Amino acid sequence: MEKMQCKCGHVNPPGTILCESCGRSLTEEEQNKKLADMRYEGTARRSQTYNKSIIDKIWNFFSSVKVGVSIIVLLLIAAAIGTILPQAQYVNVPVRNDETIKAYYADVYGEIGKIYHFLGFHDLYSSAWFIILVGMLAISLIVASLDRFVPLYRSLKNQRVLRHRSFMDKQRIYAEGPAPEDAMLKAEEKLKELKYKVTLDKNGLLAEKGRFSRWGPYVNHIGLIIFLFGVMLRMMPGFYVDETLWIREGETRAIPDAPGYFLESKNFTMETYTGEGDEAKFEEAIDRVGSVAKNYQTDIVLYQTPDESLPGATDDMEQVKEHAIKVNQPLKFDGYAVYQMDFRQNELKAMTFDLTNKETEESLGSFTIDLVNPEKSYDLGDDTRVDLLGYYPDFSGFENGEPQTETPVPNNPGFLVRMFTPETPDGEVSFIVIQNTIEPLGENDYKLTFQTAETRDVSGLTIRKDRTLPILGLGGLIFMIGVAQGMYFNHRRFWIQKQEDGELVLAGHTNKNWFGLKKDLDQVSGFAALPPYVDQQEEIEKQEKLKKEQKLEGDELS
C-alpha cells in the first residue's frame, strides 16, 4: 500500500480514510458517502497497513475485533458446556485420583461422559485449551487496543482547527448561512462558558470537550488485562488456597496449605429454631419443612508450631487463639480464613459392650472400646478379660478369611475378640459387627452384647487464602473507571468557520449522546445567533422511512 497524498498536500499513512490535516475524504467510497465515518477519526488501523512478515500476520489476526468477539463467544460456549455435567472437584469418588475420576464420568454418564472427560470439560478452568483461549483473549485485547489507541491518540493530539468544507458538510450536525458580525466571538464566549476548550486559527474555531472519554475503552481493557493477570497468578503456588478439612470433635489436625498451623475441634453444634417465644415467626416454616437451622458452629483452638519446628513434631505447639467458627464468621489468621461449610453428625466414637453368658444372660461386666484409640485388652477382673485381636472400622466382608475394612472411618465397626472367663480360660473367639456376631471357631458360651454408643460430629471446614484479591480488585476498579469514562462522558466537538462571503459554516460531532451535543449547540446558537443546524442522520432516516412507506403504499395499490 502506498502513502496517500491529499489535495491539500498532506501525506497520510496508507489506509487513511479522512485526511489527517484537512479532513477531506481520501477514498472514493468515502467520497460518495453522505456522512463521514468518524470512527478512529478516519485514521488507518495500524495493522491493516502492513501485512508482510509472519509476525505481522499474527499481529493482524489478533488486531481484528471479529477475532476478539469470536474468542469471547467460544469461551462462553465452553463455559456453558462446562456446566452440563458436574466439575471434577464436585464429583464424589471414594479414592480421588485421575483414574477414578475418569472412571466416574464413564460409569455415570456413559459415552458422553467419556468424551466430556477426554476433552477436559470436567476440569474446565484448568484444561490447557481453555487457558489458551483466555490467553488469546488477552493477546487480542492488548493488540487490538494498541492498534487503535495509538493512531487515534496521535490524530486527536495533532488535529487542526481548519477543516475542509467537504469534511464539515459530511458531519451529522451541520449548519451554514449568514450570521451577525460578532457571531464567532460570541460563540467562543458561550462555548468557553460551557467548559469547552476553544482554539482559534485564522478564520476558524475548534471547540472541544471531554476528549478523555475516548480513552474509556482502552482504560477498560487495561483493567481487564490486570484482572486476567490476577487470575493467572491464582494458578501459581502460594497465591491461592482453597482446601477442605474434615475434622472430628477432639481431633487436632494440620491445616492444609498452611504450614505450621494446627486446628483442634472442641465441639460442633447445630441449632434449630424452636418455633416458640421469640422464634414464633418460624413456626409456619417449621411445620412445613420439619426444622429450620439457626446456627452451625465449630468451636476450635488454633495452634502454631515455632518456625524451626518440623512437620510431625506437635509437642511444641503453642495456642494462638480460641474461636467459634460460624457460617459467615470465619476464623482469620495470617491471611487465611477458615469457613464453616459442612458437617456430619453422629459418627461413632466409642462403643460399650457387656460380656454375657449366653445361657443365663448374666453379665460379667461391661467395657468401652474407644474407637479412636482401641486397647489391646480390656480387663474385667476375676480372671475375666476381653482381648481385641482385630479392629475393622468400616467392615466390608471377608477376604481369604481375613476381615476387611473399606475406609478408616468407623461407619460399620467390626471387632475380632477373644473372651476369657473363669469357665473358659482358653478363651473363645468371636467376631462382632453391629447386630451380628460370628463365631468362627465353634459355638461359644459367652457373647458380647452391645449396650450404648458415644458419637461425635465432624465439621467440614474450608480453608481459603487469596493473595490475588487486591490485584483482581484493582483490575475491577480500573475496568469500572474505564466504563464510566466511556459511558458517562462524551467527546464533543464543534468546528466553526467564517467563509469569505461572510457566511458561517458549522459542524458538530460527538462519540455518543447527540442529544447533549444539540442541547449545547442550542445554547450557543441562541446566544450568538448562528445559522440553524440540521441533524443529517435524522434527515437521511426520515427520507428512507418515507421511501419505504411510499413503496409499501405502491405495493398495496398494485
Partner 1 sequence: MQEDKKAKKTNKKRNRAFMRLAILSLLVLAIGYTIYNSVTADNVEVLRVGDKAPDFTLEDMDGNRHKLSDYQGEGVFLNFWGTWCEPCVKEMPAMDRQYKEYEEQGVHILAVNIAQSDFEVQSFADRFDLSFPIAIDKSRSVMTAYNIRPLPTTVLVNPEGDIQRIITGEMTEQDIKGFMEEIKPQ
Residues within the interface to partner 1 (CB under 8 A): 50, 53, 55-56, 58-59, 95-98, 123, 126, 128, 131-132, 135, 138-139, 142-143, 146, 232, 235-237, 252-257, 259, 262, 310-314, 371-376, 388-391, 393-394, 405-408
Residue 375 Cβ vs partner 1, minimum distance, rounded to whole Å: 7
The helix/strand/coil state of 490 is: coil
Residue 411 Cβ vs partner 1, minimum distance, rounded to whole Å: 11
Q: Which is nearer to partner 1, 256 or 531 (CB)?
A: 256
Q: Which is nearer to partner 1, 352 or 396 (CB)?
A: 396
CB of 132 within 8 A of CB of 232?
A: no
Q: Which is nearer to partner 1, 445 or 454 (CB)?
A: 454
Q: Which is nearer to partner 1, 254 or 341 (CB)?
A: 254
- The set of cell numbers assigned to 457 is 460430629
Residue 132 Cβ vs partner 1, minimum distance, rounded to whole Å: 6
The helix/strand/coil state of 26 is: coil
- The set of cell numbers assigned to 250 is 477432639
Q: Which is nearer to partner 1, 289 or 310 (CB)?
A: 310
Residue 259 Cβ vs partner 1, minimum distance, rounded to whole Å: 7
Backbone CA torsion sign across 104, 110, 113, 115: positive
Q: Residue 139 and residue 133: Cα distance in Å, rounded?
A: 10
CB of 129 within 8 A of CB of 120?
A: yes
Q: Which is nearer to partner 1, 130 or 167 (CB)?
A: 130
Residue 264 Cβ vs partner 1, minimum distance, rounded to whole Å: 10
Where does 158-210 show beta strands of DSSP type E? 173-177, 197-201, 204-209
Q: How many CA atoms lie within 13 A of 254 on its CB side?
A: 11
CA distances from 325 to 16, 167, 295, 301, 462 (A): 64, 69, 10, 10, 11
Burial class (CB in 10 A: 0-12, 13-18, 19+), 537: middle
Residue 531 Cβ vs partner 1, minimum distance, rounded to whole Å: 45
Radius of gyration of the chain (CA): 40
Residues 6+ apart with CB under 8 A from 208: 196, 197, 198, 199, 491, 492, 493
Residue 236 Cβ vs partner 1, minimum distance, rounded to whole Å: 6
Residue 234 Cβ vs partner 1, minimum distance, rounded to whole Å: 9
